[in-house]
Amino acid sequence: MNAVAESRPIATGSRVEVARALRKIGYVALNTYRETVRDKVLYNLVLFALLMIGSSYVLGAISVYQEIKVIKDLGLAAISAFGIVIAIFIGIGLVSKEMEKRTLYSVLPKPISRSQFLLGKYLGLCLTLLVNVAVMTVGLYALLFLMRHPFDPALLKAIFLIYLELALLVAVAILFSTFTSSILAALFAGFVYVTGYFSSDLKNLEGVVDSAFLPQLTRVLYYVLPNFKNFDVKAAVVAGDPVPLSQLSWATAYAAIYVALLLVASCWIFRQRNLK
């Protein structure tokens, strides 16, 4: 009777039960946020990001007539790069670390399903990410303000897409952490980011390479791997080129669907896992 893994649905349909289930996911999320946001390493990372943003001031002063551009370029790059490190770093704090440190042991026997737990974790981490990105954004705008540069809302578009990118990356990290150790999950997530970023360069190999099989393979990989280039509008925003809202919406749609995919897969694996 109990030889199979937990196979109960998350909510059995009644509205009250759904509300209750959602509330529990919310509690897990808030608690995850509280736990991760106090991590000292996180503080240091954000601090470094702010330092890097601040240092762009120096670089800006060197390049004649290009100070603002350099500050914006470097600022966005810092938010993105540190965001990636933070996303992966807190991503591994998910299932892997919980399993390794056994904090899960006291939570799962409580009346909460494994799926609710995982979803709550994900949302909590997204919240942490949001706060970190917001802090870095404020830092960047503060610097620009000090440089007497008028408020440029276009930067927010780039930062919004960076945030989506990070939310997607965290979901990738979650998936890996359901079945590998912390360190491997971090490495795999980083690897997926790099290949996902460059996959678009490989999608049109027909006519370029003599083999018939290789272009098909890279084409499939291009669609299967998460395409992080969809979220990169830094250059356009800094150059002042228009970024249409439709582009933002489609990128959001892509992120939402892919994240859903990753979370479904993660829950599926997690529900069957025997904990050490």
Binding site residues, another protein, CB under 8 A? 1-6, 8, 20, 24, 27-28, 31, 34-35, 38-39, 101-113, 198, 201-210, 223-224, 227, 229-230, 232-236, 239, 241, 246-247, 250-251, 253-254, 257-258, 260-261, 264-265, 267-268, 272, 274-275
CA 213 to mean position of chain CA atoms = 33
Q: What is the rounded distance in angstroms from the CA atom of residue 174 to the CA atom of residue 196? A: 17
Q: Which of residues 50 and 238 has its CB atom nearest to another protein in the complex?
A: 238
Residues 6+ apart with CB under 8 A from 240: 154
Q: What are the start-end ranges of the E strands in 106-256?
A: none
Residue closer to another protein by CB (options 149, 271) is 271
Q: Minimum distance between the CB of residue 189 and another protein, rounded to whole angstroms?
A: 18
State which residue, 109 or 150, has the beta carbon closest to another protein: 109
Least distance to another protein from the beta carbon of 232, Å? 8
The least CB distance from residue 265 to another protein, in Å, is 6
Between 54 and 120, name the residue whose CB sits nearer to another protein. 120
Using DSSP's 3-state secondary structure scheme, residue 206 falls into: strand
- 41-56 core/surface letters (b: 16 or more CB in 10 A; e: else): ebeebbeebbebbbeb
CA distance 140 to 76: 8
Closest approach of Cβ 175 to another protein, in Å?
A: 11
Q: Which is nearer to another protein, 1 or 64 (CB)?
A: 1
Q: In angstroms, what CA-CA distances link 93 with 28, 36, 119, 221? A: 14, 8, 14, 28
Q: Could you give the dihedral angle defined by the CA atoms of residues 39, 93, 191 and 215, in that order, rounded to the nearest 10 degrees?
A: -130
- Give 58 or 241: the residue with its C-beta nearer to another protein: 241
How far is residue 53's CA from residue 144's CA, in Å, rounded to a whole number? 10
Q: How far is the CB of 78 from another protein (least distance, A)?
A: 15
The nearest distance, CB 73 to another protein, in angstroms, is 8
Q: Please give the structure tokens belonging to residue 204.
A: 């049109």
Instruction: Identify which of residues 145 and 201 has a Cβ nearer to another protein in the complex.
Output: 201
Cα–Cα distance, 198 to 192 (Å, whole number): 10
Residue 59 C-beta: closest distance to another protein, Å: 12
